[in-house]
């Protein structure tokens, strides 16, 4: 695909979570791009500014142009977000933690950028999904990320059983995500539901 | 889980492909671990040594202990691979390109390490699968990696149609991998097969 040299590039910039020192887990290429880019699409302005400052302390914060993209964004406003790009500026997309486009609202902007023939460059950084998959020792030739499972207990157990069956039938590793304060209850549901599935399997 | 302090840790070390400068896309944490670890499980000794040298030029190559793990490895030999770890040495797993445990033979060793209660630490680095997902603009809340599709043309088209249906029915993004020399034929198959599916969809 040919991209117009008059348009800017969209960089997908991974970020860190919590107190991690960004330069311990983000490569030099991320630092270089953050030093170069002044237009950003972010989920939260305060944490985005703090992240940019930690990567590039000398960067002028007043010169940053920051647009918000989060669950409150009207889908009709998404095309406007890449206007700076169409005017020739490079634009960085930052999610709250992890990689833009993966389990965050960034994907809609990226889709629109492709429709406008804007070059999209993903940068390397931490993804809890990929790190969990690597460290699991489960099948990494075939895996699925399922986002959040339902909150309702019955629906959630039903979904866990469906994923367990898929995992057994197709040898496909199943990944999902949960907010920290629901982790304990979620783990209990997993253990009780999967132990039943395991017992049923042993009785066959 | 408690890990014995007398055992070493297994580090999953991502690597680069081709002429990429490793320190452009790998974070500092990878350099630190490579400088510290002398025991490795690798797919190919020559490229692993070149990678280690590029990250840590001053490291003594004769001091490296390198074990092979690839498609020729007898599964019965896998337990022996983590012996250095059980003896207290940290061990690094390097795949040929990308992240260990993802579409490579590393997962079997990692699974065994968990059985032996050995701590496994995944490090951040480039994964073509994740970068493709980020840049696609497709649904990043639900996606599946399917490894290699069948080589046989009819079986491959059948599998492409199955994945297309899954993508349409469940809004699940489908990812797969192919060797470079098969890319052109594979893209043709995708275009011809998916255009048919698209036309059928439009006729509904």
- Residue B156 has a CB neighbour count (10 Å cut-off) of 19
Residue B5 has pLDDT above 80, yes or no: no
Please give the pLDDT value at position B61.
85
pTM (two decimals):
0.90
Distance of CA A152 to the CA centre of its chain: 24
Please give the pLDDT value at position A204.
46
Interface of A with B in 23-82 (CB under 8 A): 23-29
Q: What is the mean pLDDT of chain A?
A: 89
Mean pLDDT of A1-13: 82
Please name the residues in contact with B83: beta carbons below 8 A apart, sequence gap of 6 or more: none
**Where do the CATH 3.40.1010.10 domains begin and end in chain A?**
10-122
Query: Which of A10, A113, A127, A140 to probe the B interface (max B CBs under 10 A)?
Result: A140
Identity of the residue in A29, A102, A147 whose CB atom sits nearest the CB atom of B133: A102
Residue B18 has pLDDT above 80, yes or no: no
Please give the pLDDT value at position A18.
73
Please give the pLDDT value at position A202.
54
Q: Cβ contact (<8 Å) for B142 and A141?
A: no
C-alpha to C-alpha distance for A70 and A63, rounded to whole angstroms: 22
A32-43 pLDDT, tens digit per residue, is 999 999 999 999
The count of C-alpha atoms lying within 13 angstroms of the C-alpha of B128, restricted to the half-sphere facing its C-beta, is 14
Chain B positions touching A137 (Cβ under 8 A) are 101, 107-114, 120
Nearest C-alpha in A relative to B95:
A134
Residues in chain A: 204
Query: Chain A: nearest CA to B175, how far in angstroms?
Result: 10
Q: What single-letter DSSP state applies at residue A176?
A: E
Residue A40: φ, ψ to 5°: -135, 145
C-alpha to C-alpha distance for A162 and B8, rounded to whole angstroms: 37
Q: What single-letter DSSP state applies at residue B98?
A: B
Chain B positions touching A127 (Cβ under 8 A) are 127, 130
A39-88 pLDDT, tens digit per residue, is 999 999 999 999 999 999 988 888 999 999 888 888 889 999 999 999 99
**Where do the CATH 3.30.950.10 domains begin and end in chain A?**
128-203
Chain A interface includes B146 (CB < 8 A): yes
Pairing outcome for strands B143-148 and A91-94: unpaired
Chain B positions touching A99 (Cβ under 8 A) are 130, 134
Please give the pLDDT value at position B104.
79
What is the CATH code of the structural domain delimited by A128-203? 3.30.950.10
Chain B positions touching A112 (Cβ under 8 A) are 137
Please name the residues in contact with B126: beta carbons below 8 A apart, sequence gap of 6 or more: A124, B14, B16, B17, B25, B26, B98, B99
B29-71 pLDDT, tens digit per residue, is 999 999 999 999 999 999 999 999 999 998 888 899 999 988 8
> 3-class SS at B175?
strand
Identity of the residue in B121, B130, B135 whose CB atom sits nearest the CB atom of A110: B135
Domain at B10-122, CATH homologous superfamily: Tetrapyrrole methylase, N-terminal domain (3.40.1010.10)
């Amino acid at each position: 695909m040919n991209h117009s040299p008059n348009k800017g590039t969209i960089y997908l910039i991974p970020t860190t979570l919590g107190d991690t020192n960004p330069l311990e887990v983000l490569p030099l290429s991320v630092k270089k791009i953050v030093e170069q880019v002044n237009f950003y699409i972010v989920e939260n302005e305060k944490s985005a500014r703090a992240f940019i400052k930690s990567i590039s302390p000398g960067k002028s914060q007043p010169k940053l142009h920051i647009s918000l993209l989060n669950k409150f964004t009207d889908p009709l406003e998404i095309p406007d977000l890449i206007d700076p790009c169409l005017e020739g500026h490079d634009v960085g997309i930052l999610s709250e933690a992890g990689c833009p486009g993966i389990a965050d609202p960034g994907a809609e902007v990226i889709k629109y950028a492709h429709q406008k023939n804007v070059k999209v460059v993903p940068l390397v950084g931490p993804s809890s999904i990929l790190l969990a998959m690597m460290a699991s020792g489960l099948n990494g030739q075939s895996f699925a990320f399922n986002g959040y499972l339902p909150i309702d207990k019955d629906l959630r157990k039903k979904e866990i059983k469906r994923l367990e069956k898929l995992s057994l039938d197709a040898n496909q590793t199943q990944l999902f995500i949960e907010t920290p304060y629901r982790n304990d209850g979620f783990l209990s549901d997993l253990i009780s539901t999967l132990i039943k599935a395991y017992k049923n399997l042993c009785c066959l």
